[in-house]
Structure 1
Amino acid sequence: MSETSSARPGDGDLRTTALLQLTAAIETATTLDELLMLGLNEFTHLLEISDGGVILLDEAGTTAGLVSTIPLRTSLPPAFLITETTFLWRVVANREAMQVDDVALAMGAADAAAATRQILPLLNAEQIRSLLFLPLVAQDRVIGVLVFGNRTVPRQFDEHEVAQARLMAGQFAAAITSFRIAEEALRRTAELATLNEIANTVTSSLNSREIYHLVMEKINTYFCVDAGSLLMLDEESNDLVFVMTLEAGEEKLFGVRVPYGHGIVWSVASSQHYAVVNDAQADPRFFREVSDALGYTVQTILCVPMVVKGRTIGVIELLNKLEGPFTEEEANRLTRMAATIGIALENARLFQTVTTVRDRFEAILNSTNDGILMVDMRGIIMTANPRAAQLLDRHRNQLINHTLDQVLHDLRSRAVSVSLSSRLPHEATSEGLEFELPALQGRFLRHYMLPVRETNGTEIGQLALFQDISQERALDQLREDYVGMLVHDLRAPLTAIINGILMVQRGLGGPTTEQQQELLSIAHEGSQTMLAMINTLLDISRMEQGHMNLNREPLSPYAVIDQALDRLRVSAQSQNIQLKQDFRAGLPLIEADREKLVRILQNLLDNAIKFSPSGGEVILGAGVMPTASREDQGILPLDVRMPDLETGEHLIFWVRDQGPGIAAQYHARIFDKFGQAHHGQRMRGSGLGLTFCKLAVEAHGGQIWLHSSEGHGSTFALALPVSA
């Protein structure tokens, strides 16, 4: 290697002529490729050689590629790292021209880089004996290297030739930079135009298939590829799903799934980094099942992820570039585009989700039988369903943007009566009101409020519900009439039947046999049971209407317990059930209705005996909850929790059995009228006993509750305030 210097006559004219010819080439070139060919032609004429080439660096200055040659070659070697070639790295690093006088001697040396030695056979095949490297410097930056070769015999370029070539190289580098800037501007313009068309379609169309088609159509055209696919991540199955594949304008592969971890697409989705594969068949990641099913041969692949807010939502995969291999620059360009496309597609998906949810919400609102008003935190009505307008006898325009207070005030002014409602869901945030509106064919409306909360629990508004309870009121009246019929129309004849049976038993109608006495006893017991049921219905009806008078008196809990146990000892013995007691000492007197309290305990014990297996036991316990303590203190069995009670001293009763238990789904309605739990066997009783217990306990100002699980028995407990 060496650099020599000498002077030749006419250097000025020769230099001027060469510069003018290069300037003319620059001025007439319309593309970068044309500029490179014309420029190389002028350099080879100046240096009187036949071979030359242009190597350009990437933006980072680390990777180089041979982009143009003279003579013209259709196949060019792949890009390489500049640090892997000793000579090129020195030229770039030092920004100086460098000669290789004898290629075979220099590149075959033992200390030559491996990549350098690999080039030697190619140079020998072309009979290149000497090389000249010139740096291309523009805007204080090396953008590439000019390489010139002399064939057949070694040649040493003199100082004049190198100086002249370097002068021209500076102008050539400036022209290349200008063309690259212009081409990059054109590419960016085309890129922005493509993205703009995609964005316009995304914002103007609600058809996702149409959006996907346009995205791939524009990208395939922009990158000049044979086929392209758009795959979206299915977060439920964790598959990548082909939502659009375009090959020559034809849609394919819709709905085909790529399982997690398979293929280049999943490699890109997982790493969130693009992949350039210019020999797909040799890549171990290649998932050939899809292409084989179509009979399509994949040669080159460019795949980039679509990442939105750090989360991969899909990938774009381009196949078989029409001219040459995919480049890193194209990968970076598609990555930029994918980021914008991903945001647009995600926004479109979110918009469609919101639209779908809105449509479903409106469908639910329009189909429900309840009138619903959506009210914001200021009390302004934001939404009203058609049923609300119908029930309130107002047009929707007369409801929306008005205050709820105005609507309720108007409803009150038209109502014949307004009363409080006791039948409300536990989520209700206000007292329920019931309106009677006789002007609307005797319609009754129930109104209450429910909260509307965000996912974090913050309240953002309320739902005002209006229910037509006219049919419910009619059924209530029917039930009251039915109870009245039972009480007043059946009680008198049933009493007469009982009295008649007693008189026959006592012999007023003549002597009776032992067998007749037994039949009369059965009839008397059945009549008493029926009379007790009628009395219970009457008591329940009175308590529901608030008409039940309690005959309160100071009572000893022990006396009440003994009386209840005495009534059921025979029944327990007949079923081989053992009655046990678990009382605390020093239970205080309680102000209560003796008969009602005895009947409460009697009903609870009777149920426990009915559902306990033969040989089992039923426990009746009692204790007192002091005013100063809010903890159980061992009054109840260990697995039964004490509810929140009002302030004051409470007397606690509880009954525990060893029956089949009550499933959780029946706990809410076990105290309702005729409400019974299903145990896979014939129903026992009328379903009124527990209803009476609940109403009677609440009439005393107390609480009753249940603890039970299927297969582990049941515990009914009640708490009564010691001082009424």
Structure 2
Amino acid sequence: MTRERILIVDDEADIALILKLQLEDAGFETLRAKDGGEALELLHREEFSLVLLDIKLPKLDGIQVLERLGPALQEMAVVMMTAHGSEDLAVESMKMGALDYISKPFSAEDLLKKVGRALEFNKTRKENLLLQQQLEEERKKMAAILAGMADMMVATDSDGRVISINQATANALGISVESPLGMPVEELLTSDLPPARLPCKVVLRTLSSCLDVSHSLHARDRIIPVLSSATPLFAVSGKLAGSVEILRDISHLKALEREREEFVSMLTHDLKTPLTAVMGSVDLVRESRLGPINEEQKEYLDSATESCGEIVEMIDTLLDVYRFESGKMSLAFTEEDLGAILRKALSSFRPLAERSEITLSAAIPDDLPYLRLDRTKVGRLFGNLLSNAFKFTEEGGKVVITAGLLPDLREALGRIPPGTYQSEQLPDSGSYVMIEVRDTGVGIPRDALGSIFDKFVQARNRREGKIKGTGLGLAFCRKVMDAHGGLLWAESDLGKGSVFTVLFPLVRVEQRGA
């Protein structure tokens, strides 16, 4: 173990020897300097834990040595030695940076107490200096991070007054970083939100995070759409210290949203309208209103009508997915007979089943309860699921719809593939009406089951080696079920077929898609 080194600075050899013996008996390593000049040379060349410095020395006295050491005293423990009657000089030396003094003559016990206290104090002082350096480094790092942040940041105290903003905030609002300090945060962040609903004010009131609040920030010469999140700040004691809010400028997202709205408008007017005209013209010819046609011509016209209808349906699905995501979808919730909706969907696919030589069957109880739902959207949902089943089932295969009650959701939760829902999206329990659409088709890869309800994700028909559809049908189905407070998932084994399960809650469902 390394012993602590002490420098003894005293011109009297007998006193220096006594100090050396007493300190080395206590386990210290010592070195002597005869005067102030020699002491300074040793201190510049070597490291010591403590200096015992006599005030009266030849050449340079103790006070002058302290003056020469200057800032180095901040990291050095110095105990002054003074003769009786020189206490005023000792006190002056402590003002200059010495930690303590001891008056001659002194006992070994007094010496070791003074040395021990000085070493302990200096150890604590060094630790504090190190902590201060670390804190300053962290402060500089944080300042650099905040200065480089593209997002705006505002920090407040527990009273909601601004204590810090970053450069991005200053740039966005056209102010300096220092100017809003001490200002109520609602005066800095003027918004279309009431002041009490600003995220940083909400967290000061609720003591919990407030995430992803969309609002418009009023700057000097413009309005900035932002997405804000805030969290409370707590002291080590657990007491509320303030809040910090991050505001992301989403102007580019709003611009993209406007472009998307223009695209949707284009779909409606520039695509659907001409298609409707084409379908009307084809119908005139197909129905022989413009003159007689033969059977072969009628088949071609029927095919053209069907293809136009598929394109219109794709456009409608894309429009509906957009309306769901933008919150512009209006659903007409009424009390409906779910069994009747299922039977109607089945009947519309029977001709396709016969042409495809696929067995279509169902087990739908007559006493299925009425549910509050949007009849049109739910009808399209089951139409999409049946269409998907037929699309990937070969001749001789089967498509089956079953319906019934699920008294406890917990019986089915284990069947939901990972990635289909976030855990917080799943209810813990409840009673549901369960509908299953089964097929004996090519199946879906297990690792794709969690993502097939995302937009533009398509199930691959591996037997045919091609992809069918736009990848929006299942996304539409998921949006419909979300709006009804229900669940939808898929289970599958490659080569053995798939099962799509739909759950409608047996409770009154408020409209969530509007």
Quote the residue 1:717 is aligned against. 502
* Structure 1 partner of 2:116: none
Report the Cα offset of residue 450 of structure 1.
4.6
Residues 707, 502 of structure 1: CA spacing in aligned structure 2 closer, same or farther, 3 A cutoff? closer
Larger RCO, structures 1/2 (Cα 8 Å, 6+ apart): 2
Question: Which residue number corresponds to residue 685 of structure 1?
Answer: 469
CA contact (8 A) 2:334 2:375 kept: yes
Q: Is the 8 A contact 2:402 2:435 kept in 1?
A: yes
Using the alignment, how far apart are the partners of 2:387 and 2:247 within structure 1? 42
Q: Given the alignment of the two structures, is residue 639 of structure 1 paired with residue 492 of structure 2, yes or no? A: no
Give the Cα separation in 2 of the matches to 1:414 and 1:398.
23
Q: Is the 8 A contact 2:211 2:228 kept in 1?
A: no
2:154–2:166 CA contact under 8 A, matched in 1: yes
2:384 aligned residue (591, 598, 603): 603
Q: In 2, distance between residues paired with 1:709 and 1:428?
A: 39
What is the CA distance between 1:341 and its match in structure 2?
12
Q: Distance in 2 between matches of 1:356 and 1:522?
A: 73
1:719 alignment partner AA: F
Is residue 347 of structure 2 the alignment partner of residue 566 of structure 1?
A: yes
CA RMSD between the two structures = 5.4
Q: CA deviation at 1:527?
A: 0.3
Matches for 1:103-182 after TM superposition, within 5 Å = 180-181=21-22
Alignment partners' CA distance in 2, 1:350 and 1:710: 60
The corresponding residue for 2:433 is 651
Please state whether the residue corresponding to 1:398 is helix, strand or coil. coil
Residue type of the partner of 1:704? L
Pick the aligned partner of 2:260 from 450, 459, 479: 479
Report the counterpart of residue 80 of structure 2 in structure 1.
none
For residues 349 and 519 of structure 1, the distance between their equivalents in structure 2, rounded to whole angstroms, comes to 86
Distance in 2, matches of 1:458 and 1:608, equals 59
- Could you give the per-residue CA deviations for residues 387-411 of structure 1, whole angstroms, max 9, x where no partner exists? 1222333322234454434434x34
Cα pair distance change 1:350/1:412, threshold 3 Å: same
TM-score using structure 2 length: 0.59
1:194 corresponds in structure 2 to 47
Shift of 1:496: 1.6
Distance 1:511 1:585, change over 3 A: closer
Aligned to 2:38: none
- Report the Cα distance in structure 2 between the residues aligned to 1:28 and 1:596, rounded to whole angstroms: 104
State the match for 1:702 in structure 2: 485
**Separation in structure 2 between the aligned mates of residue 714 and residue 352 of structure 1, nearest angstrom:** 63
Among 260, 263, 283, the alignment partner of 1:502 is: 283
Structure 1 gaps of 5+ residues are 1-26, 33-176, 205-210, 212-338, 419-426
Using the TM superposition, give the Cα deviation of residue 501 of structure 1 relative to its aligned residue in structure 2, in angstroms. 1.7
Alignment of 1:380-399 (within 5 A): 380-399=161-180
Q: Indicate the SS of the match to 2:226.
A: strand
Shift of the 527–515 alpha-carbon distance from structure 1 to 2, 3 Å rule, reads same
Deviation sequence 1:453-478 (CA, Å, 0-9, x none): 999x9997654121222221122122
Residues in 2 aligned to 1:580 and 1:460: alpha-carbon distance in whole angstroms = 65
Task: Compute the displacement of 1:648 (Å).
Answer: 8.1
SS of the aligned residue for 1:687 comes to coil
For residues 170-224 of structure 1, the C-alpha deviation after alignment (integer angstroms, 9 at most, x for no partner) is xxxxxxx9873265579456599935489xx9x99xxxxxx9xxxxxxxxxxxxx
Aligned pairs for 1:67-106 within 5 A: none
Aligned pairs for 1:532-611 (under 5 A) are 532-543=313-324, 548-569=329-350, 581=362, 586-610=367-391
CA contact (8 A) 2:458 2:471 kept: no
Aligned residue type for 1:703? G
Contact 2:152 2:246 in 1 (8 A): yes
State the Cα distance separating 1:528 from its structure 2 match: 0.1
Q: Secondary structure at the match of 1:396?
A: coil
Q: Which residue of 2 aligns with 1:660?
A: 444
How far has the Cα of 1:574 moved from its partner? 6.8
SS across alignment from 2:210? coil
Distance 1:380 1:437, change over 3 A: closer
| Per-residue deviation, residues 140-188 of structure 1 (Å, max 9, x unmatched) | xxxxxxxxxxxxxxxxxxxxxxxxxxxxxxxxxxxxx987326557945
Judged with a 3 Å threshold, the aligned counterparts in structure 2 of structure 1 residues 565 and 358 are, in CA distance, closer, same or farther, namely farther
Name the % identity. Answer: 27
Mapped to 2, the partners of 1:453 and 1:609 lie a distance apart of 59
Contact 1:704 1:718 (8 Å CA) reproduced:
yes
Task: Report if the CA contact (8 A) 2:275-2:312 is conserved.
Answer: yes
Structure of larger gyration radius: 1
Deviation at 1:489, TM superposition (A): 3.1
Q: Which amino acid aligns with 1:387?
A: A
546 and 430 in structure 1: CA distance in 2 versus 1, 3 angstrom threshold: closer
Q: Distance in 2 between matches of 1:398 and 1:709?
A: 62
Q: Which residue of 2 aligns with 1:490?
A: 271
- 1:440 matches 2:221: yes
Structure 2 gaps of 5+ residues are 1-11, 33-42, 52-68, 76-119, 199-207, 510-514
> SS of the residue aligned with 1:586?
coil
Q: Which moved more, 1:708-717 or 1:443-452?
A: 708-717
- Check whether the contact 1:666–1:677 (CA below 8 A) recurs between aligned residues: no
Find the aligned partners of 2:212 and 2:184 in 1 and give their Cα distance. Answer: 18
Q: Which residue identity does 2:416 align to in structure 1?
A: V
**Is this contact kept in 1: 2:155–2:162, CA < 8 A?**
yes
How far has the Cα of 1:498 moved from its partner? 0.9
Give the partner amino acid of 2:285.
V
TM-score norm. by structure 1 comes to 0.44
